[in-house]
């Protein structure tokens, strides 16, 4: 299938890229790895006059860790890079798991974590764990930059809080507190390379005993944006972690889910899987926190 006609742009600096976004506002799309964009172009889901690659902008592919600010993943860091990076594996291993469970190795060698986020698909593999870990998105317009809490980044399917002249340059994941564990759980129709029917990210902190002192639960593919398991979170704080409380938290998370039926799963199945996967994610997170 042929692509629609467009003018290809390849800026070599962030300022040049943002200037192009302002100049061609409403007529331009950004390409990083291109694994989502090229498909959308081929299906005529988007027909921009200009397609701008950011691959030539230096410094956007870096992954680094700082004991004060945490983990930073650049906008051009490949899924495969995140999957195998030593800093990610040491400080945020569930981000590596989520990257590993995204599509196939061929796509992971081309696609980026930031592209997966900015595509703003409710079922994206890399979003739930980042939400659970309270990440922020660094957005720049060529003159200044700002931090967007990831809870505020997603406005709807395919829609984000980025301004028309902004580029998301990095993901920043805060330093994890002591006695904290995270988990990523996913179920898909055929295998883990498929788009998720339900995916769950969880981060849980213990108080030194067996009680939960803090928890964040993110649910994907069960609403128009990533949803928080607010009822389950409120229930778990100050509760002793045991099979009964985790099961109840899973049930409460399912109450906060608002899935639809589609080709990947029915609404009823998704509700059940939210309960099962949330319980499983919280159990793993609690076990890792206590280890």
Distance CA 140, CA 155 (A): 19
Sign of the C-alpha dihedral computed for residues 112, 16, 27 and 163 taken in this order: positive
CATH topology (fold) of 63-173: 3.30.465
What is the value of pTM for the model shown? 0.96
Neighbours of 92 (CB within 10 A): 25
How many residues can be counted in the chain? 291
pLDDT of residue 193: 67
281 token code pair: 């994610």
Give Cα separations from 154 to 162, 165, 255 (angstroms). 9, 17, 21
CATH architecture of residue range(s) 180-290: 2-Layer Sandwich (3.30)
pLDDT in tens, 51-107: 999 999 999 999 999 999 999 999 999 999 999 999 999 999 999 999 999 999 999
| Domain range annotation of the chain | 7-53, 63-173, 180-290
By CB neighbour count within 10 A (0-12 exposed, 13-18 middle, 19+ buried), where does 248 fall? middle
Which residues pair with residue 72 across a beta bridge?
Answer: 64, 172
Decide: 25 and 165 in contact? Cβ < 8 Å: yes
Which residues pair with residue 274 across a beta bridge?
Answer: none
Residues of the chain with confidence (pLDDT) below 70: 1, 191-193
Decide: 141 and 43 in contact? Cβ < 8 Å: no
Decide: 215 and 230 in contact? Cβ < 8 Å: no
pLDDT of residue 157: 95
Decide: 281 and 185 in contact? Cβ < 8 Å: yes
Nearest Cα to 52, choosing from 89, 72, 84, 23?
23
174 token code pair: 């805060």
pLDDT of residue 1: 65
Please give the DSSP secondary-structure letter assigned to residue 2: P
Distance CA 19, CA 214 (A): 42
224 token code pair: 């128009």
Distance CA 274, CA 218 (A): 10
Helix (H, G, I), strand (E, B) or coil at 55: coil
Helix or strand run (H / E) with residue 107: helix 105-108
pLDDT in tens, 268-290: 999 999 999 999 999 999 999 99
CATH architecture of residue range(s) 7-53: 2-Layer Sandwich (3.30)
Helix (H, G, I), strand (E, B) or coil at 190: coil
């Amino acid at each position: 299938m042929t692509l629609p006609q467009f003018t290809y742009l390849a800026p070599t600096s962030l300022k040049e890229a943002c200037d192009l976004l302002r100049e061609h506002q409403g007529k331009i799309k950004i390409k990083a790895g291109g694994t989502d964009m090229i498909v959308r172009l081929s299906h005529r889901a988007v027909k921009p006059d200009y397609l701008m690659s950011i691959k030539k902008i230096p410094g956007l592919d870096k992954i680094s860790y700082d004991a004060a600010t945490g983990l930073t993943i650049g906008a051009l860091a490949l899924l495969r890079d995140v999957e195998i990076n030593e800093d990610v594996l040491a400080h945020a291993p569930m981000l590596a798991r989520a990257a590993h469970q995204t599509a196939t190795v061929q796509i992971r060698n081309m696609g980026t974590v930031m592209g997966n986020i900015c595509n703003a698909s409710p079922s994206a593999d890399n979003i739930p764990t980042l939400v659970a870990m309270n990440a922020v998105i660094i957005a720049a317009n060529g003159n200044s930059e700002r931090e967007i809490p990831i809870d505020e980044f997603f406005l709807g399917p395919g829609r984000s809080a980025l301004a028309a002249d902004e580029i998301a340059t990095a993901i920043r994941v805060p330093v994890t507190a002591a006695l904290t564990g995270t988990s990523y759980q996913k179920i898909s129709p055929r295998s883990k390379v498929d788009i998720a029917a339900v995916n769950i990210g969880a981060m849980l902190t213990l108080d030194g005993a067996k009680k939960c002192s803090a928890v964040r639960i993110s649910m994907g593919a069960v609403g128009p944006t990533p949803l928080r398991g607010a009822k389950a979170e409120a229930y778990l704080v100050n509760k002793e972690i045991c099979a009964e409380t985790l099961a109840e938290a899973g049930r409460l998370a399912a109450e906060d889910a608002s899935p639809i039926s589609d080709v990947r799963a029915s609404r009823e199945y998704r509700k059940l899987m939210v309960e099962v996967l949330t319980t499983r994610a919280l159990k793993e997170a609690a076990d890792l926190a206590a280890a």
